[in-house]
Chain A
Amino acid sequence: MKTGLSVVFLFMASFAFSQYNSEFLSFDRTGRSISINGEYELGSNGIYNAFLNKFLVGGYIDKNLKDASAKNMKGLNVLGANFNYNISAFFGNKPKYSYLIGFKDQQIFNSSFTKDFYQLAFYGNKPYLGETKNFSGSSINSLRFQELKIGFIWHKIDTTAKIGVSVSILKGQQLFYIKANEGSSLYTNADGTELIFNSNFNMAMSDTAGKRTNPFAYSGIGASADIFFETPYNSRLGQSSVLTVNANNIGFLHWFDNSVQYSSDSSFRFSGYHIDNLLDLKDSTISAVNKDTIVKNTTNAHKESFNVNIPANLLIINKIIFTDKFSFSTGFRYLFNSNFKPYFFMDAEYKLSGNFSGIVHVGYGGYAKLGVGFTFIYNAPGFYVKLGSNSLQGYISPKNTYGQGAFISIAKKFKR
C-alpha cells in the first residue's frame, strides 16, 4: 500500500502547478508558511485522455485510439496544457501583512487544430489523396519560463479581507509559436505525385540551437504581476460568503535577438525535384535536397527580438459557508492570450473530521469539456497538505473522457 501511494505521489509530483497557479489562494489555510506546490492540467475538447496519455508516458498510438478521437472531433478543436511547480514562502512578523517570496517553473501549451490537421498528423496524407486538407486556424503556442517572485499580502483589511500583490522577474527558456491563417491547406493529388501547399502562416522560435529542453537556457526576459483580492460579505444563503478575485501571470516576455521569425504567404506546388538525369544521380544532386534548403526557400526567415504576452489567469470564486463543516463555491476561470474556453465550476467542501476536509468539484469548459474532481485536504496546526484533481474522469475512463489534471500542495506552517 505504501508503495502504491508513493507511486501515486510520484506521478502527481512529476507534473507541477499549485491549483489555479496562485500562491495567494492557499494563504487562508496556511498563513505564514513555506510550501511546495505542483499542478498539471491537460485537456482537449477533441482528443480523448487515453490518446493524450501517450504523450505523457510514451507508447504507441494505435489506430483504435486515433479513430476514437477522430470520430467525435469538431472542425476546430483545442488542446492545452499547463504544468508548473513552485516553492514559495509567506513570512514576516507584522500583524497585518506578510511578505511573499517564491520561485516557479511554468510551461504553458496552447493549441488549436483542425480535424484535417489532426488527420494529416496522425494518419498521413495517403488516405486523403485527391483532397485538400485545411489548416486554417490551427496554432501552437508553447512557452516555458521561470520566475522569481516577491510580494506581500495584506491580510487584516477591515479585520477579514485580504489583498495580495506580487511581481516577478521572468527568465524565458523557450518559445515556439505557429499559426496557420486563413487559406492554409495541403492538397495531394490522386496518385500522390503532386502536393500543393498553401502556406499562410507565422512562426516564431526563441532559438534554433536546440536549447529548448535546457532549463538554464536564457533566451528572453520579462516581468509579470499577480493580484489577489478576497473579502467576506453577508449573503442571504448560509452563514456568510467570501468573494475571491485572483489574476496572475499578467505580463510579457521579451525574446532576444537570436529569436527567429518565419512567415509565408505563398502557394507551393511540388511535383518532385527536377533532376536532369535520373539515371545519373550525383552526390551533389542528392545533397542539394535537404530540409534546411526547403525551409529557407519557402519562408521569409529573419532573426530579431520581439515581445509576447504570457497567458494571464483570471479566477473569480464565490464561496458560501453554510455550516462550520460545509461550504459551497461557484467560480469562473479564464486564461487570456490562450485558447482556454471560459471555465465554470462548483466546489462542495465538507469537513470530514479533525483536520481532514474533502472537496467535490464539477466544472465545464477550459481546454476540455466536463470535469469532475475531488480534493483531499489535511490542515493541521503545523502542516497543510492538499492533494486533488479537478479532472478525475481522465483517470477513471481515459478512453471516453476529455481532460485530466492533478495538484498537490504541501506547506510547513511557521509558528505564530
Chain B
Amino acid sequence: MRLLLKLVVLIGVSLSIGSCKKGTNWDIDAAFPIAQSHLNISNFFGDTIFKADQNGLLHIAFSKDIINFTLDSLVKLPDTTVSIGFTSPFVSQLNPGTIVFSNNLSNDKEITFAISNGVELNRAIVRKGQLKVEYYNSYAQPLNFNYDINSANLWGNVLHINQTIGGGTVANPASLTKVYNLDDYVINLTGLTGQKINTLVQTYTITTDPSGVADQLQVGQGLSVKLSFINVVPEYVQGYFGQQDLSFGPDSSLIGLLDNFKPSNLILTQSDINFRIINEFGVELSSSIKSLKSIKLSPLNTVTLNAGNLLHSININRAGKTNNASNPVFPWLKQIDINSSNSNLNPFLENIPNYLGYSIEAKLNPLGNISAGNDFAYYGHGLKVIADVDIPFALSANYFNLINYAKVNLTQIKELKNVNSCNIILQARNNYPFTAQIQGYMVNEQNQVIDSLFTWNNNSIQSALTDNLNTVLNYTDSRLVASFNKAKVENLRQCKQIKFVTYLYLPNQPTPIKITDGSYLDLMVSADLNYNVNTK
C-alpha cells in the first residue's frame, strides 16, 4: 500500500514536470493584406475645403467670419435701480383698508434708463430679464403695495404687482424681496407724453391691509420700495441709435485651415476673396476695412492686402423688416470682390496665413437721425463681414510638405513579439501629377524619434504620367517596402505615434499642375512576415 501511495505522489510530481514543459514553436511565412485606402486631395491636406468647379478643377474654397457684431454689442441696457414709496410726515389713525398713498399726484411716475452711446430708444421687447423688488415696511400693521408698469405690456396686460408686506418698526422694518419675470414684455419707452425716450411709466398705491387692525401711523413710518431692472436682454429695440463710431481690431482671426500644408515656392495662378458685408441692423453705416494682413507664424511673415480703395468708404444701407416673427429681418448685402487682378491677393494667399489680421472702422447713422427714431435691431442679428476664399488648384510649387500624426498603441498586441522579420508592402496607384516621398517616423512617449519605416532609396510613389503641361495621361503603380527586423518590430511596438512626413514633388516646374476631382491615390498595405508560432 505504501508503494502505491509513493507511486501516486510520483505520478503527481511527473505530471507537474510535464505541465512545465516549454512550448512548441515553429516558423511560418505569412502574407496577408492589412489595409487599403482611396485618398483624395482632402486626405492629403486633412481638410474638406475642396470643391470642384464645372470643369472638374478642384478649388480650395472656404469662408471665414471676420466680424459678427450683434445687438447686445450695439445697444447695452444697463441694470437700473429706482426707489419709490411713502414716509408719513405726520401722525394719523388708520383703519384696515385705508389708502395711505398714491403716486397719482407725485412726480415719480416715470423711470428713465441711462443708455450709453447716445442711444435713444422708444420701444423694446424683452427677451429675458427680471424686476427685483425690495420692500421695507416700518408701519406696525401690514401694508398693501399695488404697482403697475403701465408701459410694459404682455398680451394686452400691463405688468401688475400686488404685494402685502407685514408690519414692522422704523428701527426694524419688515422686509421682503421678490423677483418678477420680464420675459416677452413689450415696453413703450416714450414716457407719459409719448415724446420721450428711454422712459417708462409706473403707478402705485399703498393701503393698509384688511388683515391688520386700526393703528396709528407715526411720523417717519411708511413703506419704502427699491425697484431694480436686472439682466435685461432685449429681443428687439427701436429708436435712434446715435452716430456711434465702431472699431473692430486691430485684431486677428485664426484661419485654422491647411495647417499641415507647407509648400515651397508656391505660385498661384489665380485667387479670389469675396467679402460679404451683411447688415441685419435697421440702421445705416459707413465702413472701411482699414487693413487686412496675411500672417504666417512659422517662419513669421506678414503680407498686407493692397486692394486700392475697394475696401474703403463702404456705404452700408439699413436692413428691412419682413414682418415674419421667425425671420424678422431682410438683410442688406454688399459684396466686394478682391482677386488677383485688382489686388496683390496671390502673394497674400501664397503666404499660407495662419491668421487673418484686420482693422475695420464703421460709423452708425452717418447722416444723423434720418429714420426719425425708427432704427431697429433684433436679437441674434447684426453686422457680419465674411470672407469667401477661393483658390483654384492650378498652382506651381517645388514641393508640398505634409505632416500627419497617427497615434498608435501596439504594446498590447503580444503577437508582435513573435514576429521574426516582416516586410510591410505599400502598393500605390497614383493618378496625381506629383511624386510622393513618404517617411514614417516612430515616436516614443518622450516625443523622440526611435526609428523610421522606410529606407530613403525606397520611399517614393511615382507621379502619374503627364504631358508637358502637367496634364495627367495615366496612373503609375509603385511598390514600397518597409523592412522590419526583430529590433525594428520592437520599436514599432513601443512607439506611441507615427509621424508621417510626405513631400509631394511637382513636375515640370514652374508649369502649374491642375488637380481635378477625378484625381486619386489608391494605397494598399500588405504584410509579408516570418512569424514564430508558439503554443505556450
Contact = CB atoms under 8 A, between A and B. Distances in A.
Given A13-B10, A66-B26, A274-B37, A193 B526 contact: yes
Nearest to B46: A280
* Most chain B CB neighbours (cut-off 10 Å) among A55, A126, A127, A279: A279
Contacts of B8: 36, 87
A33 to B, nearest CB: 10
Interface string A376-416: 00000001000000000000000000000000001010000
B34 A273 contact: yes
A283 interface: yes
Interface string A113-143: 0000000011111110100000000000000
B409 interface: yes
B44 to A, nearest CB: 7
Nearest to A412: B4
Interface string B251-280: 000000000000000000000000000000
B535 interface: yes
Nearest to B536: A58
Contacts of A56: 21
* Most chain B CB neighbours (cut-off 10 Å) among A56, A60, A188, A278: A278
B522 to A, nearest CB: 10
Interface in B413-469: 425, 427
Given A193-B427, A283-B407, A14 B44 contact: no
Interface residues of A, number: 54
Interface string B481-518: 00000000000000000101010000000000000000
B406 A281 contact: yes
Interface residues of B, number: 52
Nearest to A129: B31
Interface in A191-229: 191-195
Contacts of B527: 192
Contacts of B25: 59-61
B155 interface: no
Contact of B407 (A58, A188, A281): A281
Contact of A55 (B24, B33, B408, B528): B24
A59 B535 contact: no
Contact of A123 (B28, B408, B502): B28
A60 B532 CA distance: 10
B364 to A, nearest CB: 47
A10 B10 CA distance: 7
A366 B535 CA distance: 26
Given A36-B11, A286-B408, A61 B31 contact: no
A34 interface: yes
B235 to A, nearest CB: 43
A287 to B, nearest CB: 9
Contact of B24 (A15, A58, A410): A58
A273 B35 contact: yes
A38 B11 contact: yes
Given A10-B17, A125-B32, A281-B407, A36 B4 contact: yes
A87 B402 CA distance: 73
Contacts of B409: 283, 286
Contacts of A127: 29
Interface of A: 9-11, 13-16, 34, 36, 38, 54-62, 66, 85, 87, 121-127, 129, 188, 191-195, 270-283, 286, 383, 410, 412
19 contacts: A13-B14, A54-B26, A58-B21, A59-B25, A125-B29, A192-B33, A192-B526, A192-B527, A192-B528, A270-B32, A272-B33, A272-B36, A272-B524, A279-B43, A280-B46, A280-B404, A283-B408, A410-B4, A412-B4
* 6 A-B pairs closest in CB distance: A192-B31, A124-B28, A281-B406, A278-B37, A58-B22, A272-B33
Interface of B: 1, 3-4, 7-8, 10-11, 13-15, 17-18, 21-26, 28-37, 39, 43-44, 46, 402, 404, 406-409, 425, 427, 498, 500, 502, 523-528, 531, 535-536
